[in-house]
Chains A and B, each alone.
Chain A
Amino acid sequence: MFAVLLEQTADGQRYIDWLLSGLGWTLALAFFGWWIAFAVGVVVGIGRTVQNRAVAALARLYVEIFRNIPVLVQMFLWYFVLPEILPVSLGNAIKQIPPPWGSFFPALVCLGLYTAARIAEQVRAGIEALPRGQVEAASALGLGGYPTYRYVIVPQALRLIIPSLTSEVMGIYKNTSVALTIGLMELTAQARQISEATFQTFTAFGAATLIYLALALIAYQGMALIDRAVRIPGTGRADDAARQAAPRAAEQLDALPDAMEVVK
């Protein structure tokens, strides 16, 4: 069924090379986008929980804006609108970036900042799920605001939210496909191109689907591995604290298990 993938294309490659190049862009976008998302998301998520009203309001504004505009519209804002509203020389410089980088960078910024808003909400939920005694104990020990966050709150909160971060990891690699709308030849775009060139739609989309499934499985297993690796010895399940804090049913619903758990 997949034999057509080994045939020669018009440009002297094989179709499977197109798919692999698409996979490369998808992975690059998801990987680097994730680190932007994680860094910004943790900072904004912490900002949502601090006492300072102005900082909390700014963090909230960030989350509201980036979470409530469709990712495709955000993609167009970064790609089409940003170069137009910047000063002319800078805008022109951006437009001069040669393909595929001219599509890759807007897509990277877009996915990073969009996913950051979602991660920020998870971080906030993780921080709020910690027992108040943790902050009180930290201040009883004479820790200030920064050390309390750095050594007490954030390390625990991040461990708590690893299961729900799994779905954000899966979200960012799925959303990389939106970059095809601004001309990046990632996996889905390559599958469509192969389908148009060979009329073997079933094969082309089937191959892409299998690759996405494999990525989902890897993401799921990888996060489960991290969850186990960073668990604090002697605390049992890392989310025990959350379990005590929230009523059972609501808590289960909030931390929806990911689909891959079903496959296992």
Chain B
Amino acid sequence: MNSLDFSIALQAWPYLWSGLLFSLALTAVAFVVGLVLGTCLALVQHFEVPVIGRLVRGYVALMRSIPLILVLFWFFFLVPIVLGHLGGNGRPVPIGATWTAFITFGLFEAAYYSEIIRVGLRAVNRGQFEACQALALSTFDTYRSVILPQVLRVASPIILSQTIILFQDTSLVYVLSLTDLLGAASKLAQLNGRLVEMYLVIAVVYLAISSAASQCVASLRKRYAIAGMRR
């Protein structure tokens, strides 16, 4: 091994940057889709909707019990088949690895976010529901204006911590040969043979982003520590 040469990483930066943008885009989409869908899943469980509530519970438990890599493989295989059936002619619709990644991460993270929100819903003081009833709010208004804002606020540090984990997990799209930050580094490393520099540089990039984000979450947690709900 000759001496380390980090100028190679500087030359490679535009490519790494585009990889990082993909990682961030995947994180953002999975966050939005996951949180919206996760809230719906949590509400379905919260209202104990017959049959669907149980199915959702099973789905969440399944997603949380098997490795994300296996979930990626599953979706890569299943989504084209499901789309084919939805399209009517039953022939699998190839959608490519990029779409697979976005769909998988959205649906996978929904399971994790829903669990956070479900517990948050359980923690809301009964008096809040009674007060809404006394004010004759409809169920929809009760949840939209009173309950969910409180749940989201008190759960926000945990939701954000989960999002940092999500950002790190996006590196697993490597198994689909996508060009996220890690994928970009590994493709360059194969071309220029500088895998030590490449992997060290992206490790530092991941470290910097995740740890800056963790600091923000920690200060947020401190700020809202007392303002949260109590029983």
Contacts and interface: CB of A to CB of B under 8 A. Distances in A.
A and B from one complex? yes
Interface of A: 64-65, 67-74, 76-77, 80-81, 84-85, 88, 91, 170, 174-178, 180-181, 188, 191-192, 195, 201-202, 205, 208-209, 212-213, 216, 247-250, 252-254, 256-260, 262-263
B171 interface: yes
A187 to B, nearest CB: 8
Contacts of A65: 207
Given A249-B231, A256-B116, A260-B65, A72 B70 contact: no
Interface residues of B, number: 53
B172 interface: yes
B67 A188 contact: yes
B93 interface: no
B142 interface: no
B196 A84 contact: yes
Interface in B2-34: none
Contacts of B74: 205, 209
B196 A81 contact: yes
10 contacts: A68-B206, A68-B214, A70-B206, A74-B203, A84-B196, A170-B64, A177-B68, A178-B67, A213-B62, A248-B123
Contacts of B124: 249
B82 interface: no
B203 A177 contact: no
B123 A73 contact: no
Given A174-B66, A258-B64, A91 B1 contact: yes
B202 to A, nearest CB: 6
